[in-house]
Structure 1
Amino acid sequence: MRRVLPHPLVSAGLFILWLLLNQTLAPGPALVGVAVAVLGGWVLAQLDPGRPRLRRPGVALRLVGVVVKDVVLSNIAVAGIILARRRQGRAGFIRVRLVLREPQALAVLACILTATPGSAWVEFDAAEGWLLLHVLDLGEEEEWVRLVKDRYERPLMEIFT
């Protein structure tokens, strides 16, 4: 069964998403949805993302809480900047040297930083470990470096390594 559906949950999710987007259970679109779901599972298998080894579920739950809080507070801050039509500082790029090298953990970090309004993961130099981050309200660069390393990188290292 693993040959046909190497990632059954991904395939099921793709099939359900296809049906929801098409808003029909008609046989034609459903058959195309099955094909998309199976092909999507095969493509993911070819990418071979590997199986992440998650350790410390308590740390993972705390990190989720921190990220939710940061996203809410960042939304409020960005909305304040936009609605008041004022700039509280300057936008800019910062470089953060990361110790983290686990691909799945880096992907989670990229999602966290990009999902948080006011910041965006721009580039990562895997050879040197440099992260280029764009920040809407830069302020003190060292504060941003400390935030990324202490709030996000350290827990991700505990969870994934």
Structure 2
Amino acid sequence: MKLPNPLLALLLLLLWLVLNDSTDPAHVVLGAVVGLAASAAYRLLQPAKWRSRRLVAPAAGLLWLVLLDIIRSNIAVARIALGLPGRERVAGFLSIPLELRDPAGLALLACIVTATPGTSWARHDEAGSVLTLHVLDLADEETWVRQFKDRYERRLMEIFG
């Protein structure tokens, strides 16, 4: 039988022994079992290899866009929090149908949504591929959906295929 990740298992065993401050045989056996189980579980968590035809340009464009959106959203949320005058704001949930199916792309999309103030990832229906967002300033749902798909999903699909 081949060990799934022997270096990780060994490091976890050593960490176990250091944290328990013991080299008692029971701790060695228990640490070895924990190390082997964790290294086997780690192998299952590794993402599938993905390929990208063009990575740098779409990723750089997406990064720049996300940074600008984070700055813009921080300013908008600060205006709301400080009670500065402006138009009436309505918070709400928004359903966005997604074409993006790649797990790594969806994970990055979740990171983008989480990093942008005023929005939060509420739910993803994998079967119907619908993302539910909570938006602090939901003025026009149709515009929000179109901008979200154009700004983020389209670029992520270029990267993750």
Q: Which residue is equivalent to 2:26?
A: none
Higher-Rg structure is 2
User: Structure 1 unaligned runs (5+)?
Assistant: 12-26
Q: Cα distance 1:101–1:88, how it changes in 2: closer, same or farther (>3 A)?
A: same
Code of the aligned partner of 2:53: R
Q: Which residue is equivalent to 2:49?
A: 51
Code of the aligned partner of 1:80: R
Q: Cα distance 1:5–1:137, how it changes in 2: closer, same or farther (>3 A)?
A: farther
Number of aligned residue pairs: give it: 141
Distance in 2 of aligned mates of 1:160 and 1:150: 15
Q: Which residue is equivalent to 1:20?
A: none
Question: TM-score by structure 1 length?
Answer: 0.73
SS in structure 1 opposite 2:82?
A: helix
SS in structure 2 opposite 1:59?
A: helix
C-alpha displacement at 1:89, in angstroms? 1.0
RMSD: 3.1
User: Structure 2 unaligned runs (5+)?
Assistant: 12-16, 22-31
Does 1:4 find its partner at 2:6?
A: yes
Q: Cα distance 1:106–1:5, how it changes in 2: closer, same or farther (>3 A)?
A: farther
Q: Which residue is equivalent to 1:119?
A: 119
Q: Confirm or deny: 8 A CA contact 1:91 1:138 kept in the other structure.
A: yes
Distance in 1 of aligned mates of 2:140 and 2:160: 29
**Aligned ranges 1:1-150 → 2 under 5 Å:** 3-5=5-7, 28=18, 43-57=41-55, 58-84=57-83, 88-150=88-150
